[in-house]
Amino acid sequence: MGKSYWLLLVLLIVFAPIYTTCFFAASVYNNYEYNKAVDQFNNGLLLDKPIQGNLPREFNIVYNDINQLSDHNNIFLIGSSTVMYGLLSYESTIPENWSIHNMAIGGGVSVSEMMLMINYLNSYANHKPDKSDVIVIHIFYPSFKVAPENEQYITQIIEAYGVYSIDKNLQVHGYMPDIYREWMSSKETIRMAIDSFTGINMFSFSGSLLTKLLKISNNITNFFLKTQVQPSVDSYNSIYTYHSPAQIVEYKDFWTRFTASIPGYPNSETEKFKDFLAKLNSQTNVIVVNMYLPSWQRDIEKQKGYEEWMQSDLVPFLEENQIAYVDFSNSFKDEEYADSGHLNKAGREHFTKLFDDAIKPILTNIYQTSCIPSGD
């Protein structure tokens, strides 16, 4: 036998017990953190019901959730963080024979990223969306911003482990063997424990290594000195939130800068979006939702142009193609927002009820015009 074989054998004998111990310890620690989060949720200290797993939510969507779809009656939610942090699925009253899959991802999801997510579902999910399912596309005026490469979060997540690649036509290529998936899962169990202990998001695509090391050092010091801030009810958990005039000025400035690169409406992205909807509507049932906005965003120039385009172009297009449309843009009070664009507890409860009330009649109509199993 060659030297390389013996070296590999020695490394395996030395590191396998160490890795196994780390994995076991991380699993115990993660389970402890999960149970603690459940207690905080039950006591009103956390708004989101914790999800047990070894991947951050957005990675879990891409690498796990797509393999847990039903054969029919799936409701896919596509959009940005306003959807991801908007709907309280555990309070939803959608009929039990339907299953909601919140596949919204942060970062102000663009049209290209929506297309990419659908292509990924079509290629790798255990069930390809069809006329027994519903895809809910949530949009607002920043959805038609061309995102720079460093802000294309869905691309970064899909390509994170070097297994999948994305071509210029937004088609996904690659294959993840089960044994690699298990190996990846075990590594992320350890990484998640490190993240939780140090307070560093190792999945983050931003921040220098030095910045992360300094933050790790600070959090470890705080851990041993017992100076961590205890969980408390923040603005996202509050019933209502006050926004000062100074904050509102900052909010407007942020959204104006965030959408500055949009040339106006209509544009190449709006036309791409209509083509995308027409193709998607031939595959499955589609609902387009015009998302909620606080007052400080409604008078932004790009938002005004977006609303004019919606009423004069997109809404007639949706009607012509028999695509359901729901408008939530003016449905919430400013005090229902936790920050410049995300809802607080009162807002999310309100959004969940509005969403359920709007989608139930559409689901009933789909039952009556298709061969979807009743679920009885």
| pLDDT tens by residue, 254-290 | 999 989 889 899 999 999 999 999 999 999 999 999 9
Query: Could you tell me if residue 198 is inside a domain?
Result: yes
pLDDT in tens, 90-104: 788 898 889 999 999
Q: Same domain, yes or no, for 164 and 243?
A: yes
Q: Same domain, yes or no, for 61 and 139?
A: yes
Residue 206 banded pLDDT, cuts 50, 70, 90: very low
Query: Could you tell me if residue 114 is inside a domain?
Result: yes
Closest C-alpha to 113, from 147, 77, 164, 82: 147
Query: Could you tell me if residue 90 is inside a domain?
Result: yes
Q: Same domain, yes or no, for 118 and 185?
A: no
Closest C-alpha to 155, from 109, 207, 201: 109
Residue 295: pLDDT over 80: yes
Residue 1: pLDDT over 60: no
Question: What is the pTM assigned to this prediction?
Answer: 0.83
Backbone angles phi, psi at 268, to 5 degrees: -60, -30
Query: Could you tell me if residue 318 is inside a domain?
Result: yes
Question: Burial code of 18-38, b = ≥16 C-beta within 10 A, e = fewer?
Answer: eeeebbeebbebbeebeeebe
Of 320 and 200, more confident: 320
Helices (H) and strands (E) in the chain, counts: 13, 7
Q: How many other CB atoms are there within 10 angstroms of residue 329's CB atom?
A: 18
Contact at 8 Å (CB) between 170 and 116?
Answer: yes
Q: Same domain, yes or no, for 311 and 173?
A: yes
Of 317 and 371, more confident: 317
Q: Same domain, yes or no, for 109 and 62?
A: yes
Residue 366 banded pLDDT, cuts 50, 70, 90: confident
Q: Same domain, yes or no, for 148 and 107?
A: yes
Q: Same domain, yes or no, for 314 and 352?
A: yes
Q: Same domain, yes or no, for 280 and 155?
A: yes
Query: Could you tell me if residue 185 is inside a domain?
Result: yes
Q: Same domain, yes or no, for 35 and 158?
A: no
Structural domain count of the chain: 2
Quick one: tokens of 362?
Answer: 């559409």
Strongest mean pLDDT among 1-5, 223-227, 279-283:
279-283
Instruction: Name all contacts of 28-37 with Cβ < 8 Å and 24+ positions apart.
Output: 29/193, 29/196, 29/197, 30/54, 30/189, 30/192, 30/193, 30/196, 33/193, 33/196
Q: Same domain, yes or no, for 338 and 363?
A: yes
Of 240 and 32, more confident: 32
Query: Could you tell me if residue 24 is inside a domain?
Result: yes
Query: Could you tell me if residue 324 is inside a domain?
Result: yes
pLDDT in tens, 229-263: 333 334 555 666 788 999 999 999 999 998 988 98
Closest C-alpha to 144, from 263, 256, 251: 263
Q: Same domain, yes or no, for 76 and 220?
A: no
Q: Same domain, yes or no, for 330 and 243?
A: yes
Residue 227: pLDDT over 60: no
What would the DSSP string read from start to end of 240-274?
-----HHHHHHHHHHHHHHTTT---SS-HHHHHHH
Residues pairing with 363 in the sheet? none
Contact at 8 Å (CB) between 164 and 62?
Answer: no
Closest C-alpha to 160, from 15, 61, 23, 25: 61
**Domain span at 25:** 3-50+179-202+210-225
Tokens 């965003």 belong to which residue?
297
Query: Could you tell me if residue 337 is inside a domain?
Result: yes
DSSP SS3 for 173: strand
CATH of the domain at 257: 3.40.50.1110
User: Residue range 131-160: average pLDDT?
Assistant: 86
Of 219 and 123, more confident: 123
